[in-house]
Structure 1
């Protein structure tokens, strides 16, 4: 039985809140940069601005390449019965979209488009599939932005606040907004992935709460750990991040990802995923990797304890340790509670729990052999043995991923590739 996918007023409000938070995040960071420049703190000004610009360049490159890919799909489907308005807009507005991306306006354009499509779908019974398609791309870009821009800014601003006696209110505002931006981006990405699943029971609020706490607390522990290490020495942080990123890149390269069509874009994608893995676990290829998640957090706990002990030993018996004790306690509490939340999530609120219950109910009430497909997730995602899902064979794999969704649905290939997060 096909499951009707809807786009509600709550979904529209959620998108609007994400739009506001994104601009608040970028706006406060630019404000902080202006304050540093006005105070002749040119090093801090350069660091803040460099993070913003680097993140913007990466996001624009992904956004533009995705528009180009969608345009190619349109050209390949000239004789198809399916004509998606998202593809049509990509083909007819290519020139001005290129100009907007050059001027770093790709993200605002995507937000405005998503809000317009979402408003029509929620209030005027517009094309729901088109709205969800636009939102999934936006969710992935927001996730990239959270770890390329918000997380580094959060580390930088937290470190500056710990080292400065006189702080401007906008610095505290930047820290708060960055925390909210990261948390919202991870939860929005989770919601976008679950929205792509055919099981309507996944709308329960408790999975979102536990998933949100799991991500928020574990990411916060990582950020505070890096900040604590920075109070020891800046070079120690640079060496630590470079070493950790190198380890994560080895893991990413060994996965042999094929997310992007061009080799250059694929390299950038792998580098971005390597950065994300510094802060939180991310399933790269949609495989069943329960042990990878377990080993990841065992390693995270180990290196966190080592860094805390190392910082205290190297600082010796100095009484001038500032907020080290409170930071250390906060790190361990956040990490422990975060791990408890992820265990609770996968034990009690994992999508397969709902899938099994729904399948049992379906078997009791029907004599047919049809069953709901087991939803995929960050750990227990799976595909049939002989099936692969890449941006190049999305059409052939529609039945694999969305077997109970209406076949007229235009599924976003990029969210399909990462559907197990």
Structure 2
């Protein structure tokens, strides 16, 4: 479904952030290959299989998402005019070869370079459009691959009771991937603001910090439980993931264009929620956030409680008492919650929904998507018809979901 036109801006810092993402993506894949080789040469076949499963499963899911997004665009907005590979069969072959993410990076680099040379007035907006889908895919990849791999890396380090070079590099790479994908997603959503200054770099920094402080302790708690009870982690994950997918289904807002894509999206959201919060619907997030973080705190308490009886797993590595580790984990998580509250109070633009017949000018830190419709229509009327850039349903839905806040009311 074609939506309204919108004047996008793709500044140089965002381009450099995308370029950094490409570099880290290549490094991460290289480290994956090297780590698999090392584990296999050590005879750790089960660990090798687990690492390969995480990598391949996440990669296949990303190909499916990417292919569906291309298909929806092709069907609804005549996409593909600025793609490196324009034929449907060629794009299909690229996805079967697991090249969706590199292809999207190449598309953005091509469009960005052309837009910086001023070849077309709409190329900058097209770069934002392509970057939007890439940031979404990279966010999914973070929680499908990087977060589970980080749990796995911590498990290996604790089990070996030593830190080797490749394992430490892969751990650092997973952390960097998580951090960058979160920052990219925040900067990408910023494109939907009429006044981009409402979400400056300080806003992105605070957003990044509270996400990292919430994700890090959660990952570490899961890793410690895995070390103490490796036979039970699969059961714990499947039970909690199923509950979270059910919750996502109950909040169903038809993000994708068909039932298969929608269930793939819900299952992925369940995976994200296993590690971090991801807003799925518009409206007030206060009670959903309270429920979610309460569940996570209780679950982390249960995981660390089981680990408490296996304290020797940490003694030879960190040289500190177990209660110190528990204190650090919960303190960092609470600090993350404090920064999250600070972010929503001071930096996050709020969505207001005013009746169309009574339009009001929103406050400086608010984004009204009903009023955006009016502004977009006026902007479109001033431009030649052939220069329209459209926002599709998923872009609008993600932006509306992202700009929902605990203070939003209806």
Deviation string 1:373-412 (CA, Å, 9 cap, x unpaired) is 88779xxxx867xxxxxxxxxxxx9827957765633224
CA, structure 1 residues 102+344, in 2 after alignment: closer, same or farther (shift >3 Å)? same
Q: Which residue of 2 aligns with 1:339?
A: 337
SS for the counterpart of 1:104 is coil
Pick aligned residue for 1:11 from 11, 14, 28: 14
> CA separation in 1, counterparts of 2:273 and 2:314?
35
Aligned length: 381
- 2:190·2:196 contact (CA, 8 Å) conserved in 1? no
Q: CA separation in 1, counterparts of 2:14 and 2:227?
A: 42
User: 1:112 — aligned with what?
Assistant: 106
User: How far does the alpha carbon of each residue in 1:160-213 deviate from its partner, in whole angstroms, 9 at most, with x for none?
Assistant: 011104543111000001011011111211111121222222242221111110
Gaps of 5+ in 2: 353-357, 382-387, 403-410
- Deviations 1:92-123 (Å, cap 9, x if unpaired)? 42121111111101111100001111222234
The whole-number CA distance in structure 2 between the counterparts of 1:400 and 1:186 is: 30
- Cα 1:96/1:335, change in 2 over 3 Å: same
Within a 5 Å distance, the mapping from 1:51-62 to structure 2 comes to 51-62=54-65
Secondary structure of 1:411's counterpart equals strand
CA–CA distance in 1 between the matches of 2:7 and 2:264?
A: 36
- CA distance in 2 between partners of 1:118 and 1:286 (Å): 31
- In the other structure, the counterpart of 1:194 is 190
1:206/1:56 Cα in 2 relative to 1: closer, same or farther (>3 Å)?
same
The 1:163–1:70 alpha-carbon spacing in structure 2 relative to 1, beyond 3 Å, is same
Residue among 268, 271, 274 paired with 2:267: 271
Provide the TM-score with structure 1 as the length reference.
0.82
Contact map agreement 1:7 1:122 (CA 8 A) in 2: no
SS across alignment from 1:235:
coil
Paired residues of 1:229 and 1:307 also in contact (CA < 8 A): yes
Listed as ranges, the matches of 1:364-403 within 5 Å are 371-372=361-362, 399=373
- CA distance, structure 2, for counterparts of residue 168 and residue 317 of structure 1: 20
2:276 maps to 1:280: yes
Alignment of 1:151-190 (within 5 A): 151-190=147-186
Q: CA RMSD in A?
A: 3.0
Aligned 1:350-361 pairs, distance under 5 A: 350-352=348-350
* Length-normalised TM-score, structure 2: 0.84
Give the match's secondary structure for 2:305: helix
Whole-Å separation in 2 of the counterparts to 1:319 and 1:196:
46
Structure 1: which 5+ runs fail to align?
A: 76-83, 356-367, 385-396
Q: Which of 1 and 2 has higher RCO (CA within 8 Å, sep 6+)?
A: 2
* Distance change in 2, residues 1:95/1:329 (3 Å): same
Q: How does 1:14-29 map to 2 (within 5 A)?
A: 14-29=17-32
Structure 1 residue 18: Cα displacement: 1.1
Shift in Å at residue 299 of structure 1?
2.4
Alpha-carbon distance change, 319 to 156 in structure 1, aligned in 2, over 3 angstroms: closer
Q: 1:47 is matched with which residue: 24, 35, 50?
A: 50
Q: Is the 8 A contact 2:146 2:177 kept in 1?
A: yes
